[in-house]
């Protein structure tokens, strides 16, 4: 461009200016197209990210006396959540000696209601029931309710709940405080 | 005269700005009831689930935890709180309370009674309130009274946080 400018500068100043002007315009156009493509790419990435955060399904792990132990699924609604936790542990031998065989499990279902929304967490009420034979010879059922916090990020959330429950209420009722913790990932 | 007027004006502006700063740091206690709920563990204030309510500079705190496991165990505490200083996120207060419990004895009919008072602080962030208390108390006052230091901690949620 400089060479052309020098060549034509003496003879035809007007032509040189026009040529220079066209080159700059082309560069500007290219820059605008490049910027547009970049912005489009960024917006696409952002859209994907937003869709991820808006998912209503969460999967994770949970441990709680009222909400259950093990793998856990959460279904999110506007101001409430249904949570289900389950874990089976079994040992079945193939030979005739069945003395080491066992099957233990934990299954829990709970309902979480959001009372107040905050930027990083929700203050919640929860109620749940949990059936397990992990700590007794038979299946014991627990039921109760409480309050707690659900901390939110764009990718996962953490449940920290504190409540009060009736443990093994079908047989020997024990009234005792309860705590629940859970980690869930959006999918 | 002109200098005097300028000085007077400067003094007035300075005083106004100073009073505005004070208002920002120490917000006046509202006439609205301020309820808090959470968990607390303290030798004077009690152990368990706690409910606290403030009205202007006065507050009450009730803490209770009943446990039934073949025998009945309990902890019950009631305290009066008096606000001293309050800023946007911090509140200093005096408290006096009574706590009765049979958690620490194997025979259920024995109640361990504690009474005393001290100073406390609440630090709040986005509705979550951490409370720390410390003071002096008379322990086992109905049987063998002893005087010793007292401490407590609590985690509360303030419903009037917005």
Predicted local distance difference test score (pLDDT) of residue A4:
46
The stretch A10-20 carries a mean pLDDT of 53
Predicted local distance difference test score (pLDDT) of residue A112:
97
B29 backbone dihedrals φ, ψ, rounded to 5° = -65, 135
Whether residues B67 and A175 touch (CB distance < 8 A) is answered with yes
Shortest Cα distance, chain A CAs vs residue B8, angstroms: 47
Per DSSP, what are the bridge partners of residue B120? B93, B133
Strands (E), B2-160: 34-42, 46-55, 58-69, 71-86, 90-101, 112-125, 128-139, 146-158
Chain B residues within 8 A of A123 when measuring between CB atoms? 127, 157
Predicted local distance difference test score (pLDDT) of residue A86:
97
pLDDT, tens only, A46-97:
545 444 455 899 999 999 999 999 999 999 998 999 999 999 999 887 777 7
* pLDDT more than 90, % of chain A: 58
Residue A73 CA to residue A60 CA, distance in Å, equals: 6
Distances (CA, A) of B107 to A24, B73, B103: 94, 10, 9
Residue B122 CA to residue B131 CA, distance in Å, equals: 4
pLDDT, tens only, A154-185:
889 999 999 999 999 999 899 999 999 999 99
Predicted local distance difference test score (pLDDT) of residue A40:
58
Whether residues A175 and B128 touch (CB distance < 8 A) is answered with no
The residue among B48 and A20 whose pLDDT is bigger is B48
Whether residues A147 and B67 touch (CB distance < 8 A) is answered with no
Chain A residues interacting with chain B (CB cutoff of 8 angstroms): 116, 118-121, 123, 147, 149, 162, 164, 172-177
pLDDT, tens only, A38-47:
665 555 555 4
Predicted local distance difference test score (pLDDT) of residue B85:
95
A18 pLDDT exceeds 90? no
| Residues in Cβ contact with B62 at an 8 Å cutoff, skipping those fewer than 6 apart | B50, B51, B52, B77, B78
Whether residues B127 and A116 touch (CB distance < 8 A) is answered with yes
Shortest Cα distance, chain A CAs vs residue B76, angstroms: 15
Predicted local distance difference test score (pLDDT) of residue B21:
43
Return the SS3 of B25. Answer: helix
Whether residues B39 and A119 touch (CB distance < 8 A) is answered with no
Residues A67, A130 contacting (CB under 8 angstroms): yes
The average confidence (pLDDT) of chain A is 83
Say how many residues make up chain B: 162
Q: Return the structure tokens found at A86.
A: 């389950």
Shortest Cα distance, chain B CAs vs residue A175, angstroms: 5
Shortest Cα distance, chain A CAs vs residue B146, angstroms: 30
- How would you write the pLDDT of chain B (162 residues) with one tens digit per residue? 555 556 545 544 444 344 444 433 334 566 789 999 999 999 999 999 999 999 989 999 999 999 998 888 999 999 999 999 999 899 999 999 999 998 876 555 678 999 999 999 999 998 999 999 999 999 999 888 999 999 999 999 998 876
Residues A73, A43 contacting (CB under 8 angstroms): no
Chain B residues within 8 A of A164 when measuring between CB atoms? 49
* pLDDT more than 70, % of chain A: 76
Residue A34 CA to residue A22 CA, distance in Å, equals: 18
Whether residues B69 and A174 touch (CB distance < 8 A) is answered with yes
Predicted local distance difference test score (pLDDT) of residue B71:
86
Residue A163 CA to residue A125 CA, distance in Å, equals: 9
Residue B73 CA to residue B67 CA, distance in Å, equals: 5
Predicted local distance difference test score (pLDDT) of residue B88:
87
Nearest to B127 among A123, A147, A164 (CB): A123
B159 backbone dihedrals φ, ψ, rounded to 5° = -70, -25
Nearest to B39 among A123, A162, A175 (CB): A162
- Cβ-based contacts under 8 A for chains A and B: 32
């Amino acid at each position: 461009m400089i060479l052309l400018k020098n060549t034509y500068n003496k003879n035809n100043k007007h032509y040189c200016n026009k040529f220079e002007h066209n080159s700059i315009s082309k560069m500007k156009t290219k820059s605008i197209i490049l910027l547009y493509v970049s912005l489009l790419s960024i917006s696409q990435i952002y859209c994907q990210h937003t869709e991820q955060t808006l998912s209503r399904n969460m999967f994770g792990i949970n441990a709680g006396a009222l909400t259950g132990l093990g793998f856990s699924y959460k279904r999110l609604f506007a101001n409430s959540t249904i949570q289900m936790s389950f874990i089976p542990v079994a040992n079945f031998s193939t030979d005739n000696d069945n003395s080491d065989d066992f099957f233990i499990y934990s299954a829990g279902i709970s309902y979480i209601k959001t009372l107040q929304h905050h930027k990083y967490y929700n203050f919640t009420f929860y109620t749940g029931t949990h059936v397990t034979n992990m700590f007794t010879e038979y299946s014991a059922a627990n039921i109760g309710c409480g309050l707690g916090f659900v901390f939110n990020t764009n990718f996962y959330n953490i449940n920290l709940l504190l409540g009060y429950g009736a443990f093994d209420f079908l047989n020997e009722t024990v009234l005792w405080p309860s705590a629940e913790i859970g980690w869930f990932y959006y999918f | 005269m002109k200098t005097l007027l300028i000085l007077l004006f400067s003094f007035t502006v300075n005083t106004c700005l100073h009073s505005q700063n004070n208002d920002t740091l120490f917000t006046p206690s509202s006439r609205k009831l301020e309820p808090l709920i959470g968990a607390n563990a303290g030798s004077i204030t009690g152990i368990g689930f706690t409910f606290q309510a403030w009205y202007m500079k006065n507050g009450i705190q009730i803490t209770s935890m009943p446990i039934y496991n073949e025998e009945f165990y309990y902890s019950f505490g009631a305290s009066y709180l008096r606000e001293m200083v309050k800023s946007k996120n911090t509140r200093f207060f005096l408290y006096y309370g009574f706590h009765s419990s049979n958690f620490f004895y194997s025979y259920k009919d024995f109640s361990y009674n504690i009474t005393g008072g001290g100073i406390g602080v609440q630090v709040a962030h986005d509705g979550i309130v951490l409370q720390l208390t410390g003071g002096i108390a008379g322990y086992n006052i109905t049987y063998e009274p002893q005087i010793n230091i007292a401490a407590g901690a609590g985690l509360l949620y303030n419903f009037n946080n917005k």
